[in-house]
């Protein structure tokens, strides 16, 4: 049988979680699998992956353009109590620990880094937050695209930029892997919660196989070895989601589009 192709578009720091998930699905179903660590959304738009781990905002944008028919089926539930056992996450606004900033409003006229425009935690929710504040005429003094959450974290930690909004899951992994960051960073605001990034399955996958993959995803935590790998990445289990689970993010995008406010500035 041809290998089932998985692709991850998420932060490199959480790659081990999705390597474990991919292997576990293959083992459970007796199907050969391979995981691509994607560096662009080309494969998502071309429907090359059977299963994808993808940012929710990117999925919604492509869905609206009719450039994907992938279906959200599951999403991770993170282990920290702040997530309340639900498939949600936050965007944590970080500054240098020695900086004078203590709130989002303190960042007026300051420099801001984001990872990419199709990132909900790094861009979409910041845009929506600025809209809610009525700050649509230029809030930050300078806005820089870093390319990755990890790069944004490094820029703030090294005083190269004043602040950034970071996926709370990615930030937790970074703080665990680099304990020295605790002495260099502070969280001054938390945006969200929002429904966390989905696992999507291509609509060309026949319904029975789609159902089988979903069933495995929802029971991964029952396998002790897989549960250890998930826990190392701060994932407790995967929960069922569907397209409607992302109406919160659709609503934020709708509001920004209605206000013709699509660029963080």
Q: How many CB atoms lie within 10 A of CB 11?
A: 23
pLDDT of residue 69: 87
Render pLDDT for 205-228 as a digit per residue (tens, 0 to 9). 999 999 999 999 999 999 999 999
Q: Are 237 and 74 in contact (CB under 8 A)?
A: no
What's the chain's Rg over C-alpha atoms?
A: 18
Render pLDDT for 88-97 as a digit per residue (tens, 0 to 9). 999 999 999 9
The Cα–Cα gap between 30 and 209 comes to 12
94 CB-near residues (< 8 Å, 6+ apart):
153, 156, 163, 164, 165, 166, 171, 185, 186, 187, 188
Q: How far is CA 59 from CA 160, 172, 236, in A?
A: 31, 24, 23
Element of type H or E holding 133:
none
Q: How many CB atoms lie within 10 A of CB 173?
A: 22
- In this prediction, residue 162 has a pLDDT band, given cuts at 50, 70 and 90, of very high
- In this prediction, residue 2 has a pLDDT band, given cuts at 50, 70 and 90, of confident
Render pLDDT for 4-33 as a digit per residue (tens, 0 to 9). 999 999 999 999 999 999 999 999 999 999
Render pLDDT for 114-145 as a digit per residue (tens, 0 to 9). 999 999 999 999 999 999 999 999 999 999 99
Indicate the Cα dihedral angle 90, 185, 153, 76, nearest 10°: -30
pTM over 0.75: yes
The Cα–Cα gap between 265 and 111 comes to 10
Mean pLDDT for 176-187 is: 97
The Cα–Cα gap between 111 and 36 comes to 34
Cis peptide, bond prior to residue 193, ω within 30 of zero: yes
Q: Would you say residue 1 has pLDDT above 90?
A: no
pLDDT of residue 68: 85
pLDDT of residue 67: 86
Render pLDDT for 30-76 as a digit per residue (tens, 0 to 9). 999 999 999 999 999 999 999 999 999 999 999 999 888 899 999 99
Q: How far is CA 40 from CA 1, 17, 105, in A?
A: 27, 20, 33
pLDDT of residue 16: 95
């Amino acid at each position: 049988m041809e290998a089932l192709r998985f692709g991850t578009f998420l932060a490199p720091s959480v790659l081990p979680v999705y390597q474990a998930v991919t292997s576990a699905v293959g083992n459970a179903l007796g199907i050969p699998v391979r995981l691509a660590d994607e560096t662009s959304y080309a494969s998502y738009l071309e429907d090359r992956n059977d299963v994808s781990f993808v940012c929710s905002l990117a999925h919604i944008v492509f869905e609206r353009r009719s450039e994907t028919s992938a279906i959200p089926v599951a999403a991770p539930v993170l282990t920290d109590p702040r997530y309340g056992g639900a498939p949600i996450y936050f965007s944590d606004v970080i500054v240098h620990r020695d900086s004078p900033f203590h709130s989002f409003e303190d960042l007026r006229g300051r420099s801001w880094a984001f990872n990419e425009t199709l990132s909900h935690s790094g861009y979409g929710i910041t845009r929506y937050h600025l809209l809610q504040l009525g700050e649509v005429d230029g809030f930050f003094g300078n806005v820089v695209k870093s390319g990755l959450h990890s790069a944004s974290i490094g820029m703030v930690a090294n005083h190269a930029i004043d602040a950034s909004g970071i996926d709370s899951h990615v930030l937790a992994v970074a703080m665990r892997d680099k304990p020295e960051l605790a002495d260099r960073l502070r969280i001054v605001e938390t945006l969200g919660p929002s429904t966390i990034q989905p696992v999507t399955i291509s609509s060309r996958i026949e319904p029975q196989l789609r159902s089988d993959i979903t069933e495995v995803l929802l029971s991964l935590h029952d396998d002790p070895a897989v549960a250890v790998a998930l826990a190392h990445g701060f994932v407790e289990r995967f929960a069922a989601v569907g397209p409607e689970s992302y109406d919160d993010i659709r609503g934020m995008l709708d509001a920004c589009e209605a206000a013709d406010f699509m660029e963080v500035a």
